[in-house]
Structures are given as C-alpha cells and as structure tokens.
Amino acid sequence: MQHDATLKVDNLTVDLLTSKTAVRPVDGVSYSVRKGECLAIVGESGSGKTVMNFAPLGLMPAGVSTELSGSVKFNGRELIGLEDGELRHIRGKSIGFIFQDPMSALNPVRRIGRQIAEMAELHLGLSPSAAEARALELIKLVGIPDPEARLRQYPHELSGGLRQRVVIAIALAGEPKLLIADEPTTALDVTVQAQILRLLKDLRKRLDMAMILITHDMGVVASSADDIVVMYAARAVERGPVEEVLTQPRHPYTRALINAIPKSSDTVGTRFRGLSGMPPILGAPNPGCAFAPRCDLAVAECRHTRPLMSQATHSTVRFACPIANTESEIHGTGTCS
Amino acid sequence: MLRYTGNRLQQSVVLLFLASVVCFTLVVSSPGNVAVLIAELRGMIGSPGYVEQIEQEIGLNKPLLIRYADWLGNVIQGDFGISYRTGHDVNADIMNRITVTGMLVAGGAVVATVASLVLGFIGAFWPGGITDRAVRGFALVGASTPTFFVGALVIFMFAVILNLVPAVGFNGLKSWILPWITVAVLPAAVLSRVVRVGLEEAMASPYVLTAKSKGLSRFRIMFRDALPNITPIYINALGTQIGLMTAAAIIVEPLFAWQGMGDYFLNGVRFRDFMVVQACLLLFLTFFIVVNLVVDLTVMATDPRIRRQRSGA
C-alpha cells in the first residue's frame, strides 16, 4: 500500500538556521500521498505545515540555511540530499505549486501568457509559439472566460479568483504528478473559494494527480481531502482518513480543534470555544508532548516523554497520545463528548 | 496615457517659465557692474561718461521687468544675445559647444548605466560574497570621491603612467574614454546600489517564490522576473544622475580641456558675461526638466500597471 505512494515522507525533520537563531519547525513527521488522492495537512499558523512541504524542495527564502533529515521519496526517488540543480528539474515539472495569495504570486510586469508559457518551454521543451498554444489550452482548462484576451493581459487586470486560476494553470503547465497547494483559498472570498476547490478536485481526478492541500479550514478538508495530517507545534499529532478523523477525533488537540468549530446548534451569543493557552515557541526544545500544557488529559509523564504515533484500536488512524489511546481502549470507542 | 502626457507637458512648460525667472533673477542680483567690466575690457575705464554710455548701449538703465521681458522674448525666438566679453553671438558659441557636452553626458550615461547594471546584478547574484563586498566598496568610495579628484586620478593612471590614452583633448574615441569614466564614476556608484538593493528586495517577493517553484534558474529569475520590476526606480534614479552630470561637466570639461557648455558657463561666470551665464543656466535647467519629463513618460510606458490604468481612464 505504501510502496506505490507518489510522495512518501518518513520521519522528516527540518532545522532552520539563520545567523542568530535556530528553530525546528518540523520534527519527525511522516505521511504519504498516493496518485489521485488528496492529503490535507492542517494546523495553526506556525505549526510547520508550509515549511514541511517547501523545505525539501528547496523553496526556502535566501539567507536561511535549511538542514533536513529523514526521508522524502517522490515516486521512489529520494529528494533529501539532492543538489538544487536537480531539485529544479523536479520543481515545476513533476511537482506543481499553488500559493496562498494570488494577488502577489504573479509577476506584475509580465504578461500572463508568458508566465504560463515559460513553464511549457522549460519543462516540455516546446518552442515559444507552441508554448503559447499550450498556455491557451491550460487557461481554458482552468475555466477562465475569454482565454485569448487573458493571455495578453497583466495580473493586475484580473480578479483574485481569476488570478488563482492562472496560478493553477502555471502549476499544471509542466504536467506534474503532484500538486502542492498552500492555503489556495485563504485569500479568496467564500463563493470563489468553493469554485477553486471544485476546480482543483476536478483537475486532480481528470489528470490523475496526487495533491497535498495545506490549510487550516476544516470545511475545506471535509469537502476535498481523502486523508488528513494534523500538525501541532512542528509535530504530527494525528493522521488518518478524513471521515474518521473529523467525526471521531482521538488526539486531545484534534478534539479541541474540531470542538472549536461553531455549530449551527449553538445559541446566539454563545462564546467561541477556543483553546486556552498559547502554542509553544519552536526555538525551545521540548522533551515531552508539546500539547501537554494545554491538554485536559495531561499527566506528569506527558511533560517528560515524547508520545509516539501509534495505531488506534479498531482503526487505521494513528495518533500521538498514549493517554487517549488507552482511554479509548477502556471505553471501546474513540469518540469524545 | 495621452491625458497624462498632456498634463506632464503642461507642468513642464510652467516649470520652464519659472526656471527662466530664476535664471534672470540670479544673474541680475549677482554683485558687480557689467558696464564697468566692459569698460575695463575695452580699456576705456578712465574716460568719464563711458560707463553710462555702455549702460545705455546694453539696456542696463531700463527697469528690471522690461529687461526680463526683452531677454525672454528673444530667448523664445531662439536668440540668446551677444557675449559682452567677446562680442560673439551666444547662439553660435552654444551650437559649437553643445555637441561636446552632449558627447560627454551621453557617453557618461552609457558607461554609468552599463557599469551599474552589471555591478549591481553581480552583487545581488552572489550576496555577501567577495564580489558583493567589492561592489559595495566601490559604491562607497565612488559616491564619496569628488569628481575633480577622480579625473586627476584617471589621468594620472591611464594617461601618465600607463600611457594608454591622451590626457586631454577632444579628438576621437581614445580621447573620450577618460572623461566618460570620470563623469560616470559617481552615478555608477549610486546606481549600482539602487540595482543591488532593488534586486535583493525583489528577490524576496512572492512572485519570485512562484518563479522558483517553476524550476527556473536563479539567474533567469533575477534577470527576467526581478530586474523588470526594478525598472521604474532605476529609471528615476538614472534620470536624476544624468541631470547631475551636466553639473559635473563644469568640472570635467576644463580638466580635459574640452570646450563644452560647462567650460563656457565657467568662463561666463568668471567674467560676469551674463548673457552667457543666463543662456547656460537656462539650458541646464531645461535639460533637467526635459530629462525628468522623459523619465516620467518612460516609467509610465514600462510599467503596465500605470500604462493600462491611464489608458483605461
């Protein structure tokens, strides 16, 4: 089951070192995604979900040195340890990227047609005119009306939703096997969000791609993803099929996260059920469970021993909380509240 | 876009008018009586009534406003008058000299543009490296060294010690190289920083992350994605520097014995030849205003966000 994974990440740890600071935004995370499937990675801001996907592919800002350990296999090929020159051939060609803010992700002074076509020139070896034709095809594929005119326009002449479609067209131009979408709908308004998600789902099925969807929106997860990884403070806390994790969250953090979503049964004036406390600072090493200070179930042991991911009883879900795991064994089910 | 161009043209005409007022005011308010100087030049300083006669002759006894109106009226018709010192037609003198200065500024601008783009790009491409630090060092030294010293230095190095090019004169490419370098050092230093800093900023922007995710090489990203985005600030800075080069011409031309506008202006000032001074000042200011106009229109033409907005309105 795991050997045919498009992307298989094992025990990935990322350290970011600047001249003054060192942080570990990703700490021993494992997951995988198969062809045609969508994996959602959720977690709050700063939980490491973006770095986890960008760092192994060399997409980190200049001036930060990145140290990686563990294994990231793309179609069986190990990415960790590759030179940037080799990673470049994978970026864009085999793996496409969609970014959070389409307003700034496109170059403001270059025509949209060129920004799509250069991908086809670079990765498919097309001539400039053939690449333009390919750009036109792609722009039709992502459902942009009046495609010929759009190719000659500049990004500022398009709405946010259309720009995000252009970003998607760019990501698809190299005919990738894997699409990594970093909060693709966060900067868009709600009606456009739904359109973009539908488009992504449709394209994934049609082009038989694997997709990683980085988000903090549980609604997006429920409608789009097959599997889910929940991140907290650089670590994965729970991983499994979406329908199980969302309906029967096992890890205390996942439970609190899902419990925090406002329900239609809430009476008017009900306070938001947020999590008390603050997420930990990543610079300080933590020998125990990172969630322990905010956890209702925490015992003294939680602060000293790091909980490992282990399989839940009667389920394919894996999560990192021995306390909740034994508890569910006693009660026979993983449901909470 | 047409409307914007029209507005800018209007502004420029107003500025030109103000510039003419400034030129005239500055010159008439400078100390010394021209009539006395002319009398001295003609060796008639002792003869009584001669100074008054000259004042009458060149119209110094008329009210200021009338003098200004006379001068401006002639200037608009393209007549800058006659040099009091030499009796030459100022127009003819300018026609002879303007090509020399034009040559100096155009050559200097090309050298400064090429040098600043290459140096700034290299610095930004290998940030923190030895080339980056060398470029930064050049920028610091270049921007803080006075032009006359640079001129003396390059003459000493390339003409005296290495004997590669002539030290002075205006005949052929070989004799133009040193003045071009001299006039280009300061602008090249300033502009290389503009390129270096601008590229660094642009390379941190989200569209560059997109370009990286496309698998493009760093060189290509910097050249095709980042560089076009700093064009507006670069052209603005370049325009200012080209304007300032005319000021540098006043120093550089005498240094290399070039008889251009800078040299002409300097002589004019020395002898209070105020028809010459007024003409030179007005031409310098006109050049500044025209350069600024060209800069604004070029920036508009190169930035699609501005270009399309104006045409859409």
Q: In this predicted structure, what is the pLDDT of residue A332? A: 45
Nearest CA in chain A to B230: A109
Residue A197 at interface with chain B, using a CB cutoff of 8 Å: no
- Looking up residue B203, the CATH number of its domain turns out to be 1.10.3720.10
Is the pLDDT reported for residue A335 higher than 80?
Answer: no
Q: Domain limits at B304? A: 91-312
Closest CB from A58, A119, A154 relative to B214: A119
The pLDDT tens digits along chain B (313 residues) read 778 888 889 999 999 999 999 988 888 888 777 788 778 877 777 777 888 888 888 788 888 899 899 899 999 898 888 888 888 899 999 999 999 999 999 999 999 999 999 999 999 999 888 999 999 999 999 999 999 999 999 999 998 888 888 888 888 888 899 999 999 999 999 999 999 999 999 999 999 999 999 999 999 999 999 999 999 999 999 999 999 998 899 999 999 999 999 999 999 988 888 889 989 999 999 999 999 999 999 988 888 877 765 444 3
Q: In this predicted structure, what is the pLDDT of residue A334? A: 42
Best to test chain B binding among A60, A65, A99, A107 (most B CBs inside 10 Å): A107
Chain B partners within 8 Å of A107 (Cβ): 207, 210-211, 225, 228-229
Chain A partners within 8 Å of B228 (Cβ): 107, 109-110
Nearest CA in chain B to A60: B209
User: How far apart are alpha carbons B127 and B124 in whole angstroms?
Assistant: 5
Check the CA dihedral B283-B288-B290-B291 and report its sign.
positive
Q: What is the mean pLDDT of chain A?
A: 88
Question: For chain A, which residues make up each domain, given as ranges?
Answer: 1-94+178-246, 101-175, 248-262+286-337
Q: In this predicted structure, what is the pLDDT of residue B312? A: 42
Is the pLDDT reported for residue A336 higher than 60?
Answer: no
Tokens of A83: 């030179």
Closest CB from A90, A91, A101 relative to B206: A101
Q: In this predicted structure, what is the pLDDT of residue A171? A: 94
What mean pLDDT comes out for the span A155-180? 93
Residue B45 maps to a domain: no
User: How far apart are alpha carbons B24 and B6 in whole angstroms?
Assistant: 28
The residue behind tokens 């507005």 is B7
Is the pLDDT reported for residue A333 higher than 70?
Answer: no
Where are the alpha helices (H) located in chain B, listed in sequence order?
Answer: 2-28, 34-41, 50-58, 64-76, 90-125, 130-144, 147-154, 173-203, 206-213, 218-220, 227-255, 261-270, 274-302, 304-312
Residue B210 maps to a domain: yes
Q: Per the CB < 8 Å rule, is B216 touching A92?
A: yes
Per-residue confidence at A265, pLDDT binned at 50, 70, 90? confident
Q: In this predicted structure, what is the pLDDT of residue A328? A: 58
What mean pLDDT comes out for the span A139-154? 92
Nearest CA in chain A to B305: A156
Q: In this predicted structure, what is the pLDDT of residue A9? A: 94
Nearest CA in chain B to A55: B213
- Quick one: CATH architecture of A1-94+178-246? 3-Layer(aba) Sandwich (3.40)
Nearest CA in chain A to B226: A107
Edge-to-edge strands, sheet with A178-182: A95-98, A178-182, A210-215, A38-42, A227-232, A235-241, A318-319, A310-311
Q: Per the CB < 8 Å rule, is A108 touching B216?
A: no
Closest CB from B204, B205, B308 relative to A154: B308
* Most confidently modeled range among A269-273, A274-278, B66-70, B183-187: B183-187
User: Residues B292, B238: contact at Cβ < 8 Å?
Assistant: no
User: How far apart are alpha carbons A319 and A254 in whole angstroms?
Assistant: 10
User: How far apart are alpha carbons B229 and A156 in whole angstroms?
Assistant: 14
Per-residue confidence at A331, pLDDT binned at 50, 70, 90? low
Closest CB from B207, B213, B305 relative to A92: B213
Per-residue confidence at A152, pLDDT binned at 50, 70, 90? very high
Q: Per the CB < 8 Å rule, is A105 touching B228?
A: no
User: Residues B63, B223: contact at Cβ < 8 Å?
Assistant: no
Closest CB from B213, B216, B224 relative to A97: B213
Q: List all residues of chain B from 167 to 206 with a beta carbon under 8 Å from chain A.
A: 203-206
User: Residues A211, A33: contact at Cβ < 8 Å?
Assistant: yes
Q: CB under 8 Å to A323, separation ≥6 — which residues?
A: A297, A298, A299, A302
Q: Per the CB < 8 Å rule, is A167 touching B210?
A: yes
Output the CA–CA distances (angstroms, integers) from residue B278 to A105, A288, B264, B274, in the order listed. 53, 82, 11, 6
Output the CA–CA distances (angstroms, integers) from residue B46 to A171, A184, B40, B86, in the order listed. 90, 91, 9, 21
What is the CB neighbour count within 10 angstroms for residue B237? 20
What mean pLDDT comes out for the span A221-249? 92
Residue B258 maps to a domain: yes
Residue B217 at interface with chain A, using a CB cutoff of 8 Å: yes
ipTM: 0.87
A35-92 per-position pLDDT tens digit: 999 999 998 888 888 999 999 998 887 778 889 999 999 999 999 989 888 999 999 9
Residue A91 at interface with chain B, using a CB cutoff of 8 Å: yes
Q: Per the CB < 8 Å rule, is A88 touching B217?
A: yes
Per-residue confidence at A276, pLDDT binned at 50, 70, 90? confident
Residue B215 maps to a domain: yes
Output the CA–CA distances (angstroms, integers) from residue A294 to A113, A276, A280, A300, in the order listed. 50, 7, 10, 13
The residue behind tokens 């390129």 is B195
A175-198 per-position pLDDT tens digit: 899 999 999 988 888 888 888 999
What is the distance in angstroms between the Cα of A254 and the nearest Cα belonging to chain B? 31
Q: Per the CB < 8 Å rule, is A156 touching B228?
A: no
Q: In this predicted structure, what is the pLDDT of residue B175? A: 87
Q: Per the CB < 8 Å rule, is A99 touching B305?
A: no
Q: Per the CB < 8 Å rule, is A92 touching B214?
A: yes
Q: List all residues of chain A from 134 to 173 with a beta carbon under 8 Å from chain B.
A: 154, 156-157, 167, 170-171
Q: In this predicted structure, what is the pLDDT of residue A327? A: 64
Residue A89 at interface with chain B, using a CB cutoff of 8 Å: yes
B77-84: which pairs have CB atoms within 8 A and are 24 or more residues apart?
B80/B275, B80/B278, B80/B279, B81/B275, B81/B279, B82/B275, B83/B268, B83/B273, B83/B275, B83/B276, B84/B34, B84/B37, B84/B38, B84/B41, B84/B58, B84/B273, B84/B274, B84/B275
Degrees (nearest 5) of the Cα angle A39, A282, A66? 70
Question: Residue A229's beta-bridge partner residues?
Answer: A41, A239
